[in-house]
Structure 1
Amino acid sequence: MCATANRSRLSLLLDVARLYWEDGLDQAAVASRLGYSRPTVSRMLAEARREGVVTITVAHPIERLMGLEEELARVFGLKQARVCEARPTGEQGVSAELARSAGQLLLEHVGRRCVVAVSNGRAVGAVAHHLPEQIWPDSMVVAMVGSAGESFNLEDGPNISRSMALRLGGHYRNLTVPLVFDSLAMATGMRQEEQVSTTIELAARSDAALTGIGAVGDGLGVSPLLRRWMTPEVIAECRAKGVVAHICGHHLDADGRHVHTAICERTLCLGLERLADIPLVIGVAAGTDKTTAILAALRSGYLSALATDEPTARAVLTLEAARR
């Protein structure tokens, strides 16, 4: 076939392919439009693929995200990971996409009679706000940490448990006591109060838990939820002991080890050893300023699932690879 004839044939194949693949006409319609039979159009479409006029790629952005989820689960031994595309953050510092993604992960693993334990913080508050409404009258949401104070509004445990219970259509139990007490004696006495001890025990026996991941370290300041109790002495102690993160009121170093500080025994929250016994513990966090903290939480073994966004997932995996 001469070059001119070949170009003419390729032009025809392009016309046929565009009518079929881009304009959405079926083979009979293409045949009618160009004056060919349907079998001829079928043969030309096959020829177009052989000649490279048409290439078909089966792909979707979610495939990329699913690959990151599988890698996070493999590297850190997680039961589940959920990665969403990066989106602008809302008023609570967490994107609606991430909050909905974490909420969907939670709903996939609990049922109508579930007990869900929640910590405080912006991320968990955002998940509660964006959680799809259910009609689960036998469900229960339980605060697993004390209250940081009324000024934190939707970020505080009592408000989060109430908000999430409304979304689920069920009940809630709060810990209407301070997160950190001024003295060890007060904290010890409060832990023995029936309402407090029962709530903590219920949280420990929950079907799933939802927690934020706080970043601690030079240039990051301290978490707003802990600020009132982080005296210069405690801050210096955290710095000296290499604290980089906190989850559920507990401080962690870069290797994920629990770091005991001056406020540990005065903090009213679910113990880490009991947190690890909950079937699914979902950590929710995103942002370049939280990469080290998220890595520490993952290395701790206390989390069994993570919800984050794509840039954060890649940064965490890169940092972990560099550490190994």
Structure 2
Amino acid sequence: MGGTGSKRHGGRKAAPTGGVDVQKHKQQRDRILVNKPNGGKVTKRMGSGLTSTRNPHHKSTKGVRFMRSTRLMPKYGHQLSPGSAYLSYYDVLLTYEDIKALRNDWLTDNNISFWEEYLEREILPKYPQARIILLRPTMTFLMMRSQSVKDIASALPSFKGVTHIFLPINDNRDVQQAEGGSHWSLLLISTLDGVAFHYDSMRGSNYNEGKIASNRMSKILGIPLRYQQLDDCPQQSNGSDCGVFVCVMMRHLLVKRLLGHNAKEKVSMSMADKMIDAQGARKEMLRIIESFRKEGERRRSISPAASSSHTPPRIE
């Protein structure tokens, strides 16, 4: 491990032949939610509907970096292992190990998947004319490592009419190591401009990985993409905040740049003016999760068919 990113776990299964098992991923691929357009035409910044990807639950505890003997004490008293469920939020199942990682460690696939799910559920519905995809880490990895572009295109969501695609990039190249990788970065593709913007908080460590993803997406979309490394991207000051930077930059670019401007307005995609407080961002994400967990507990307590306390609080 290079010490600059997240362990990957619970999101990818190694194919027995040394390649990516596309058929298996097809069966588990993200579900797509589309808000029908209100008669709007595709514009420079936003399209005519909302498209969002959905991931299956990440329940695997393979690759946990905590000691196997670790036990966490929930407030209702009994001991739980790090892989025990903490919160079910629509299509993402967060575990206690995910919460521990979010506090002060490398962000997991689940942490980033939750953040994308949160943005899709709480932010994007306010902009019904936006047509933007937040691709999950699992599907990004599948897209980058599959040997057949044709097969992977059938496993991915439809990109027809989509104006922008966010892809969390990880540097794991070993399809046999589901929890591999050491660094996160962010790729933002504008199909309108034909540009793939790459944001890397560790001085271009993922330059090659971003370019691989850009080239793959160019073939899948059937359009040329100019790969642009943003050298003025905010830089992390330690070896564990790369995933946090990805989440903060994703929201900033989505809300402040793409959704916060007139559709015909040309918008700068530079992040030079953005200061990132990684610890503050971690605390904010934890507060959001805790608020959903409390709401899930409240709903469970008043449900006539309430299950046992061993079932995680659920928001759906």
Q: What's the TM-score, normalizing by structure 2?
A: 0.27
More helix per residue: 1
Q: Which of 1 and 2 has greater Rg?
A: 1
